[in-house]
Amino acid sequence: MITDLRITDLCRVLRISGVASCFQELEPTQEAEEIRSFLLQALETEVALRAGRRRLRAIQTAGFPTMKRFDDLDPAMLPDDGRRYLPLLRSLTFLEDHQNILMIGNSGTGKTHLAIATGICACEQEYRVMFKSVANLVYELNEAKQEKRLTALQKSLKRVDLLILDEMGYVTVDLPGAELLFQVLASRHETSSTIVTSNLMFSEWIKIFHEPILTAALLDRITHRALVMNMNGTSFRQR
């Protein structure tokens, strides 16, 4: 009975109801039991293969610039907050809480590595992930607006479970671009998670967006209920 229920469930997952109907018609014989056993193994293998392909496809479409995993990190090289919150990042519990993660600190302390590793881990758990540098995202938003496909891009950005915005502060953003970025972050507020890496303290974000009111509004959205990680430390490249 348990085997029959498992086979029926797997057929439902694989959307092959015809197979489920066929095996249910088998008479209770020894040969039928062997068929059931083989069918169960085949279906479980197919489910696992499809899940593996989905995870690989998710990683490929997320847009990671390089493949960096948690296992590639030496925790001793990370700043204190990097070590302290490493278990939380690996657990992905912040995604269930729709919490943002803000990694703030000087260059070369592992911010991008941690962000990518978290994103890959999320892909492997079948979350939808998108990685963008802030400069590239603003460019894409401006381009989409000019080509009248902004709404479609905004919907795709809102739909992902985890949006990773890398290098906030390395390039300044003009007012139209800042407004578009604000719209993206506002649409995701308390409904999904965003990871932001930046080399600038929040008080310096005015240098990125120039407009005080917009900068304050953007910070209000992104820092609400967020985990802020102090990633200042000695650069890996200087060790």
The tens digit of pLDDT for each residue in 41-98 reads: 888 888 888 888 999 999 999 999 999 999 999 999 999 999 999 999 999 999 999 9
Q: Is 4 exposed, middle or buried (0-12, 13-18, 19+ CB in 10 A)?
A: middle
Cβ contacts of 47 within 8 Å, gap of 6 or more: 10, 13, 14
Cα 113 to Cα 19, 37, 195, 203: the distances in Å are 45, 44, 12, 24
pLDDT at 36 over 90: no
CA 180 – CA 144 distance, rounded (Å): 11
Enter the tokens of residue 13: 């997952």
Percent of the chain residues topping a pLDDT of 90: 74
Query: φ, ψ for residue 67 (rounded to 5)?
Result: -95, 105
Residue showing tokens 């993206």: 184
Evaluate whether the domain defined by 65-238 bears CATH number 3.40.50.300: yes
The CATH 3.40.50.300 portion of the chain extends over 65-238
Q: What is the pLDDT of residues 124-142, one digit of tens each?
A: 999 999 999 999 999 999 9
CA torsion sign for 157, 159, 163, 168 is positive
Tens-digit pLDDT profile for residues 170-224: 889 999 999 999 999 999 999 999 999 999 999 999 999 989 999 999 999 999 9
Higher pLDDT, 153 or 47: 153
Between 221 and 33, the higher pLDDT residue: 221
What does pTM read for this prediction?
0.87
Question: For residue 201, how many other CB atoms are within 10 A of its CB?
Answer: 12
